[in-house]
Structure 1
């Protein structure tokens, strides 16, 4: 078996286990999430969304500093791991102290004492996470995704049940905060048990300076990425009421649900896989194009199909009090395939250590979206969603062109990949939207009829315009079945 075939089989096997873990947990997790949303108020979600800006930023910064370096490094020694463990302990303690001290500052910015209280509580997660970094990175490096999937399934289910119980008992926003702490704590404990650290930390850094430099560059990239992803809520939290922020946050959460479940799956497998062939740039370029073609063909009907039925899905799953989130959710779903596609470039770029290139990409996206959000934030939740619809396609085309140059692929070839799925998706959306006035039935029946009609439209047009992609998807599923 060739190295290429062995890697392909390893990737497919890893994807199978990660996908199985996601499917098993997400049906239950989604059901409980929607139930929790029905129990809580827009204010609850608005407060948690505002506190997550700081906590998520610091968490992402630490995650990029160490884990990616461990996965990417080909010559990893015991001494390097000892020094990394020492650096992880020091940095996590430092970030705990940093968030705790900044909690009151964040609360003052948002004019909310509750935001300050939330940040002081979830700051303790940094101490818990220090024990997870090395075990989790080693499991990913060795592509042991069966164990990773089992850990994720157990942690997700326990956290979801805990959140639902607390929301039912009337704990409000605290149910979301404590549920997240339970998830992080259980996942860290199980990961450590699966890959225990059997050595003491060393507080020297002479053997890991190159790894820390690489991780530091990725951390800078993570800072920009986090600004890009959260500046909408950060700006809106200052201008809009918690209720308006909550409506937008739920619209964004619903829109991001498919991406949050699919993208980590691909990223979790893709980066270790690309790292194994980092010395074969042509092979990486071929895999990038293939991944883009397959993922756009699969994800676009999910996002745009859901966008075409949000007027039924939101009141059915979340209740009438969330009707204000219908338009923002629909708009955000329309832009999600491009956001998904943009993120799909990063594992390959990271494996090639193209961190500077990724930083420039993010600078373009941050500047364009900052201007767009500042103009639109005064128009409430719908205005924020429109900011993404107007600004992100411009940023996406610039970044996709730059990535094509770096990966030695033709930009015209990449754009061609988008045409068939987008034409098919647009027709699907138009058909479903046009059929709404003709379908008079119970909301569940109407939803099922519209989904069926949309699916038939998309699949039929894809068979006419891009039969090769459909055949490749079916072939991949058959090989991995």
Structure 2
């Protein structure tokens, strides 16, 4: 019987951080180039297709992957049964999506969406084949292996095949091909580098043995479904309203692309907001979830992990979020191209929620690790219903996608307060200690605000003294440089004042990372 690995956090976080950062950087490179090769309408169409597929995929897995990771003891028969059940569900939901694609296309008034959905539905089969080895690799915290698999699949699938087809003029289909190729390559890599527990998992075992796993997995599925729906309902409502709005006078003339253009603009704004959250979310879904699952009964150990994770998240996201809000238009123009600069108001509003969403990811990992899904399901349900009503009200009252963005941000704050309250209770952690853990981030926020204000004021004075006016692109780059300098300055000063945010108070580790600093600074930190 397989015993769950103890949390080797230092090594795990290093490799998974490298994995996540690499994924985000490669995906960003892919999107930055792709945004200049395909239209906003193509992005809008693909965003709705991905929402539908992502929604169905949660049902297709029924929490099997998280169940394999979360269980303290795992029998070979359970692994074999999980594999055959996963493949069966993958096939069923492929056929279901294929059959329902025309109805979904009709709801969005798009025949092309039907074809895109039918092709992307193949990802259910590919994901079901890869689910077991991937889950076991996460369970064993084999993040170096996951890093290699992700690197190979993203370079070949996205950068080579996806961008190659986009350059050749295949539009939205280049995105479809990139997704399917990446999933296929991931599956092959996972099986090539599979852990020993995965050997023989293709042999059939009775599904009756999955009872206990499906009990947890069923609740995990409901929770993941609510989580996913909450993150995508705004995009779906924008897409449906834009495609069916009677006020969109250009929609019928342009063959429906005007509505997809609005959807693409909003979806890419949401994508920019999700970039920093993706890093923390993927770390939470792997390192924190796996690690906290193995210490779920040790409240003191959980408090220690929460303290370090919350401190690090606050330290990184508080000053970073301020920079994103301050220079949101420059971020949109640099990453997606000048045509997306018009998304500045939406991007700025959504960036307000970055820090709150990042801390919600920490609560999500704890919820799944200690199997406290019932209360979390209630919180997520309230969030989803509230967001749906307010976002639809914004659209029907002609408040536009800015109104939707304000709805998302407001309900994100409400969700943060509810999950924060639950986290403190579940870990038996005092509010004062949680607030103390965030002090490095709060100080970093203050330093970043002062630095950005002074630098921007100085630049404007310099600009006024010069005869020439920088080009829009040069101006975006200058603003990005000011933001980067300010954030790095804030992170450095707050880390010097609170070195525990980097090393958790480990004296030996602190001696290692401070060895390269000037002697005077070493004495100050140590």
Task: Tell me the residue number matched to 2:218.
Answer: 216
Deviations 1:112-141 (A, max 9, x none): 111111110011111112211111111111
Tell me how far apart the structure 1 counterparts of residues 300 and 504 of structure 2 sit (CA, whole Å): 21
Deviations 1:52-73 (A, max 9, x none): 2210112233345211111122
Contact map agreement 1:432 1:450 (CA 8 A) in 2: yes
Candidates 23, 29, 32, aligned match of 1:31: 29
Task: Tell me the residue number matched to 2:290.
Answer: 272
Tell me how far apart the structure 2 counterparts of residues 92 and 138 of structure 1 sit (CA, whole Å): 18
Task: Tell me the residue number matched to 2:280.
Answer: 262
Contact map agreement 2:319 2:490 (CA 8 A) in 1: no
Task: Tell me the residue number matched to 1:174.
Answer: 173
Per-residue deviation, 1:257: 1.2
Q: 1:334 to 1:463 in 2, by over 3 A?
A: farther
Larger radius of gyration: 2
Task: Tell me the residue number matched to 2:189.
Answer: 190
Candidates 102, 105, 109, aligned match of 1:104: 102
Deviations 1:394-434 (A, max 9, x none): 22112211221122112343345446524642663475367
- Report SS of the residue matched to 1:206: helix
Task: Tell me the residue number matched to 1:451.
Answer: 484
Q: 1:450 to 1:233 in 2, by over 3 A?
A: closer
Per-residue deviation, 1:453: 3.1
Candidates 386, 409, 413, aligned match of 1:389: 409
Task: Tell me the residue number matched to 1:307.
Answer: 325
Moved more, 197-206 or 74-83: 197-206
Point out where structure 1 has 5 or more consecutive residues left out of the alignment. Answer: 1-5
Q: 1:293 to 1:185 in 2, by over 3 A?
A: same
Deviations 1:268-312 (A, max 9, x none): 111221122123133213312321122121223233323322222
Moved more, 337-346 or 467-476: 467-476
Contact map agreement 2:266 2:346 (CA 8 A) in 1: yes
Q: Is residue 2:208 matched to residue 1:206?
A: yes
Q: Is residue 2:377 matched to residue 1:359?
A: yes
Per-residue deviation, 1:197: 4.1
Tell me how far apart the structure 2 counterparts of residues 316 and 140 of structure 1 sit (CA, whole Å): 35
Task: Tell me the residue number matched to 2:350.
Answer: 332
Moved more, 354-363 or 186-195: 354-363
Contact map agreement 1:14 1:143 (CA 8 A) in 2: yes
Tell me how far apart the structure 1 counterparts of residues 221 and 171 of structure 2 sit (CA, whole Å): 33
Task: Tell me the residue number matched to 2:522.
Answer: none
Per-residue deviation, 1:253: 0.7
Tell me how far apart the structure 2 counterparts of residues 252 and 350 of structure 1 sit (CA, whole Å): 25
Per-residue deviation, 1:457: 4.5
Q: 1:45 to 1:426 in 2, by over 3 A?
A: farther
Per-residue deviation, 1:106: 1.1
Tell me how far apart the structure 2 counterparts of residues 85 and 235 of structure 1 sit (CA, whole Å): 35
Tell me how far apart the structure 2 counterparts of residues 400 and 107 of structure 1 sit (CA, whole Å): 39
Contact map agreement 1:67 1:137 (CA 8 A) in 2: yes
Task: Tell me the residue number matched to 1:70.
Answer: 68
Q: 1:109 to 1:411 in 2, by over 3 A?
A: farther
Per-residue deviation, 1:255: 1.5
- Report SS of the residue matched to 1:202: coil
Tell me how far apart the structure 1 counterparts of residues 222 and 394 of structure 2 sit (CA, whole Å): 27
Task: Tell me the residue number matched to 1:3.
Answer: none
Tell me how far apart the structure 2 counterparts of residues 304 and 219 of structure 1 sit (CA, whole Å): 34
Moved more, 427-436 or 281-290: 427-436
Q: 1:446 to 1:360 in 2, by over 3 A?
A: closer
Deviations 1:142-183 (A, max 9, x none): 111111110011111112212111111111111111111111
Per-residue deviation, 1:22: 3.7
TM-score in terms of structure 1 length:
0.90
Candidates 350, 363, 369, aligned match of 1:345: 363
Per-residue deviation, 1:479: 6.1
Point out where structure 2 has 5 or more consecutive residues left out of the alignment. Answer: 243-258, 464-469, 515-526
RMSD of aligned residue pairs (Cα, Å) = 2.6
Q: 1:308 to 1:426 in 2, by over 3 A?
A: farther
Q: Is residue 2:43 matched to residue 1:45?
A: yes
Contact map agreement 1:25 1:153 (CA 8 A) in 2: yes
Task: Tell me the residue number matched to 1:151.
Answer: 149
Per-residue deviation, 1:470: 5.8
Tell me how far apart the structure 2 counterparts of residues 101 and 430 of structure 1 sit (CA, whole Å): 57
Tell me how far apart the structure 1 counterparts of residues 263 and 426 of structure 2 sit (CA, whole Å): 38
Contact map agreement 1:135 1:191 (CA 8 A) in 2: yes
Tell me how far apart the structure 2 counterparts of residues 24 and 474 of structure 1 sit (CA, whole Å): 27
Candidates 239, 258, 275, aligned match of 1:237: 239
Task: Tell me the residue number matched to 2:521.
Answer: none
Tell me how far apart the structure 2 counterparts of residues 479 and 182 of structure 1 sit (CA, whole Å): 42
